[in-house]
Amino acid sequence: MKVKIVAVDLQAMAPIPGVIQIQGDITSQDTAQQIIKHFDGKLAQLVVCDGAPDVTGLHDLDEYVQSHLILAAITICSRVLELGGTFVAKVFRGRDSGLLGSQLRLLFSGDVSFAKPRASRNSSLESFVVCRGFMGPRLRTDLKPSTSFENHSSNDSLLLLWYDKDNFEDVNSSQQALLPFIACGDLRGFDPDVTYTLDPDHIVKPPVQVPVDPAYSEVCRFSRLNQSNTSKFQSLEKNNEIDNNDDISRFTELMEKLSFDPREDHL
C-alpha cells in the first residue's frame, strides 16, 4: 500500500524521500488549500501537529497562542481527516486546557486525552492532546469553502470559522473536568530533568540533519565573531601592543563594526 505523507513547516525543511513538503503557515488559507490539494480528494488517517509559537515565558499567553495553532490544524482536519481518524497535537497545559479538550471532544467520538512523553521535561508545560475517532466536519452552512479567513472578525477563531459556533458554546463544567492526563513511560532510562556526565570514551555523533536555515544562525555568527575579536584584544593587551587610551578606543570601534556588519567577512 502506497502511503502519502504531507509535511508543513514555517521554516525550510531538508528534503525527505517520499514526503511532500510545503513551506507555509497553517493559519493561512493558501497553505490550507495547498495541503488539501495534495490529497487529490482522498482523506488522511492521521494528522500530527507538532508546531509551537516562539514562547514568551508568559504561560497564559503561550497557552493561548498555542491553542489557536491547534484550532488552525483542526480547520485543516475538517477537510482532510477521514471518519474515525486520529489527531495528535502539541499543547501547553494550563488553567484553560480543559476547555480546549472539551471542544475537541465534540469532534471526536473516541477518547480525548492529554499525554506527556517520557522525553518531555517535567518542568515544561508541553504535552500532547490525542484525539481518536473523528466524527467528520460539521461545517457552518453560512460559509463557502473559498471564504477568506481575513474577511472575518479577529474574535472568530479559525475553528469557529468552519464549525457551528453553537456546538462549541455548549460545553459545561463537568465536561471540562473529565479529561484524563497520561504520563507515558516508566522510571527506566534517562530522566529528561537530570544532567548526566558523559563517559570518558563517549564519541559525539554529528546530527542526522542540521537545520537548513535557522533563524538563530546570524546570532551565532555574531557571537563567534565577538568571541574571536575579544581574544584578539586580550592577546594584544597581554603583549603590550595596546598601550594608550586612543588605541583602545580605536580597537573598540573596530570590534563594534566587526560585530554588527554581517555583509563583510572580517575573519
Find cell 504535552 and name the residue.
Answer: 127
CA contacts within 13 A on the Cβ side of 131: 30
160-176 as b/e: b if 16+ CB within 10 A = bbbbeeeebeebeeebb
**Active-site pick, 37, 42, 90, 116:** 90
CB 28 within 8 A of CB 67: no
Using CA atoms, how far apart are residues 15 and 58, in angstroms rounded to an integer? 35
Tally of residues, the chain: 267
To the query of whether residue 90 is one of the catalytic residues in this protein, the response is yes
CA 217, CA 207: separation in Å to the nearest integer?
Answer: 16
The three cell numbers of residue 134 are 473523528
Q: Give the catalytic positions in this structure.
A: 90
